[in-house]
Structure formats: structure tokens, C-alpha cells
Amino acid sequence: MAKAHIIGAGVSGLSAGVRLANEGFEVHVHEATQQAGGRCRSYYDGATDMVIDNGNHLLLSGNLHARSYALSIGSEHGLVGPERAQFDFVDLKAGKRWMLDLGNGRLPTWVFDKSRRVPDTGVGDYFALAPLAWAGNDALIGNTIKCEGKLYERLVQPLMLAALNVDPPDGSAGLAGAIVRETLLAGGKSCRPLIAREGLSTVLVDPALKLIREKGGTVNLGHELRQVLMAGESISMLEFGDDTIVVAPGDVVVLAVPPRSASSILPGLKTPTKFRAIVNAHFRYDPPDNMPPMMGVIGGLIEWLFAFPQRLSITISDADRLVNVPREQLARDIWRDICKAAGISDEVAEGALPPWQIVRERRATFEATPEQNAMRPGPVTEWKNLFLAGDWTDTGLPATIEGSIRSGDRAADLALQMR
């Protein structure tokens, strides 16, 4: 039986491993750290005495690779969301609340219904976004559409900031266009929000590890690849420091590690060199009754607010400015915004903080600018049995879960072509 060595147990590596295991490969996953999942994992946090996710990640019903992956590992039921593509928003400065209702159709007919659009916007505002949908990868968003007005402030800016993790005017219009084509232009049927309410590991990680093991594979944690040895056009050996694994003819290797590690293992590999931070915060506090599972927040510090059982969590993108802010001060500022957005009383907002945790990822995603996007490698390498995967590779999407899983699927498909 041919073997597949998956280097890295994030969702890109796991999706490749699952695909290959289902096609008859003996899959061996090698992860440098002591936990699988990469940036999409859950863990017990002592500060809140809860299991939390290291980041708040949202999927959409149109993320076909991610949904197919969840289906293949038997966990699609763990992705939950509303029947329709509906998104609640609050503008803290203007004191306005609204619901963006994209419906559940295949066409974006919602733009013609004032009650379903962003407040204070007209049909023409949406058609003005058309150049973004077909922009080239070398174009900037700021040079493609006008980054001003109510539609930009209340929908385009928060959507693109979350997807690209850069201030939208400086972001890649090509990557933004891919998001627009797969979401807003695809109608509500592709935009229904899906959240792993029981935790990312429960839905995206643990079932994959179980499947790989059940099919005769292994998962090796704390097993860091240090070097690869080549023989002609193929990888022949994998050196892990304390042991060496022979890669036999017919075996394949999928390198699904962060870009810095990839360039260390493969000197000369071109990868993105600039990254942006994301801040997530979690508070142990029962969400108010009838609070939506997710809410976009305009005009404040926080950008997205999630309501989980016994927990309120937030996300702030493009957060380099916050990585050195004292934790207690940052937690207090975030909590005030949460209380405003969730309708929690001023007395609670200014009182003692509930148990909290802040997760600051300094290198959360590559910088989604045209310059950095051009530095993303494809899945094929100069060695015929080695393939790359990861959200930082050239997936056609920004650094998203869908892009990550898509990269793993693509690497696996290329490996299967070697048979």
C-alpha cells in the first residue's frame, strides 16, 4: 500500500490526509506541536474555565470544499446556522440596528428590496461594486471601487476586512473579487452563515484524526520535520531529528506547514513575507435572550460578536495596532463594546469583568495585498512526489478555512494523479 506523509495537522493537511486515506493510501500525519488543528482548533482555557476556539471562524454555505470535507468525516451536522442568509448588524456610533437578508435563492435579488438592504443604500450603490468582481490580482481595492459611503462602511468594509485581514483600500482587488463572486453575487443560497457552535476541533479536527487512524494511518504529534532528502526528481527521506523515514517509490508527501517553516524545509521556496495580526477575545457570560448567534459591529473596536453557550466572543482583524496593548486595558475596552452591541446594561459594562481570555495571533494570515499575493506558490514543486498545501499557497482566495481546505484537496488530487 502506498503511503502519504502529511506534514502539518492543520485543516489543509487534514483535508489532504482524509482524501488520500479514502482513496486507499496509508496516511501518516506529522505535526510539530502537541496539538492538531493549527489555527482552527479548540482547547481548554483555565482563565474562563471553558473550552474555547483559538479564533472565531465563520463558514458560508457556499464554501463547498469545507462542507464536503465535513461531510466526508461525518461532522457536517456540527456546522449550524439560520435557514436563510441573514446577518445582524449594529452601528454603535449611529445607534442603528438592522438585518441584511440575502434570502436563500441563487440570484442576488435582495438588492432590489429596500427592507433587505443595508440602511440608507440604493440599488445603484451595489452595482457600483461590479468592477471589484472582475478585478485583476495586481489591482488595489482602493483603485477599483470608491471606499466611502454607507454601503462601504456598513457592508463592504467589514466583509473585506474580515476576509483579507488588511485595510480594504490596500487589499488585493483580485482576492476581494473572488469573495464577491462566491458570496454576494452567488445569492443567499451560498451565503448562509455556518458556525461550529460545539467547537472547531469537534467539527473540523477530531473526526478527521479518527478517520485517518481507523483506516490504518497514524497521527504523530511533537514530530517536527527538519529536513528532506532528495534522490533525483523525488523526495527520498524525511528527517525528523530523532528518526528518519524512507519515502518509497509511489509514496507521496504533502507539506502543509506555515510559510516560515516551509521555506526552512525547502530553501529557496518563494512564500509571502508579510503578515497581519488578528485578536480574538472570549468572555464567560450568558448571552442575553434572543441575541443572534453572530453580529457585525460597526463604529467600534470590535468587528464581529459571537454568542455561544455561556460565552461571548469577538474578533478584530488587521490588529497589529493592538498586539502590544496591555491585556487588562484591551479586555476592558472590548467588554464595553460587547455590552453596547448586545444591549447589556451600563452597570454591567463598567463593573467587574467576567472571566476572560484574549488570543493575539501576530502572524495570523499573510498580508492580502497584490504584492504578497503574487508571492504565493502553487501546489506543485520541483519534486514529483512533494506537494504544498496551506491557506498561504495560491488558492485564489484569501487566507480562509475554505481556501485552506481547498489547498489540501488540490494537493491530494495531484498526488492521486501519480498512481
What average pLDDT score do residues 336-362 get?
Answer: 97
265 & 391 share domain: yes
105 & 228 share domain: no
Residue 388 within a domain: yes
245 & 293 share domain: no
250 & 390 share domain: yes
What average pLDDT score do residues 307-335 get?
Answer: 97
What average pLDDT score do residues 210-216 get?
Answer: 98
Q: What is the 3-state secondary structure (H, E, C) of 288-341?
A: CCCCCCEEEEECCCCCEEEEECCEEEEEECCCHHHCCCCHHHHHHHHHHHHHHH
What average pLDDT score do residues 263-277 get?
Answer: 96
Select from 154, 176, 191 the last residue of a domain.
191
253 & 372 share domain: yes
Rounded Cα gap, residues 258 and 261, in angstroms: 5
pLDDT tens digits, one per residue of 71-82: 999 999 999 999
Residue 68 within a domain: yes
pLDDT-derived band at 333 (thresholds 50, 70, 90) equals very high
185 & 87 share domain: yes
Residue 53 within a domain: no
CATH number, domain with residue 74: 3.50.50.60
376 & 252 share domain: yes
246 & 335 share domain: no
361 & 246 share domain: no
Residue 359 within a domain: yes
What is the domain count for the chain? 3
Specify the pairing of strand 218-221 against strand 193-196.
Answer: unpaired
Select from 173, 191, 209 the last residue of a domain.
191
pLDDT tens digits, one per residue of 393-415: 999 999 999 999 999 999 999 99
Is residue 297 a contact partner of residue 341, using CB atoms and an 8 Å limit? Answer: yes
104 & 159 share domain: yes
pLDDT-derived band at 241 (thresholds 50, 70, 90) equals confident
Predicted pLDDT of residue 253: 98
pLDDT greater than 90 at residue 242: no
Residue 225 within a domain: yes
What average pLDDT score do residues 124-140 get?
Answer: 95
What is the rounded average pLDDT for all residues in the chain? 96
What average pLDDT score do residues 268-291 get?
Answer: 97
Predicted pLDDT of residue 419: 79
Residue 55 within a domain: no
DSSP state letter for 146:
-
Residue 308 within a domain: yes
pLDDT-derived band at 133 (thresholds 50, 70, 90) equals very high
The backbone region for 350, taken as left when phi is positive above 0, alpha when psi lies in -120 to 50, beta otherwise, is alpha
CATH number, domain with residue 339: 3.90.660.10
Predicted pLDDT of residue 418: 87
Residue 168 within a domain: yes
Select from 164, 191, 218 the last residue of a domain.
191
Point out which residues pair with 304 in neighbouring strands.
296, 315
Q: Which helix (H) or strand (E) holds 45?
A: strand 42-45
225 & 145 share domain: no
Share of the chain above pLDDT 90, in %: 96
244 & 356 share domain: no
Is residue 59 helix, strand or coil? strand
pLDDT greater than 90 at residue 235: yes
Could you list the residue range(s) of the whole structural domain that residue 146 is in? 82-191
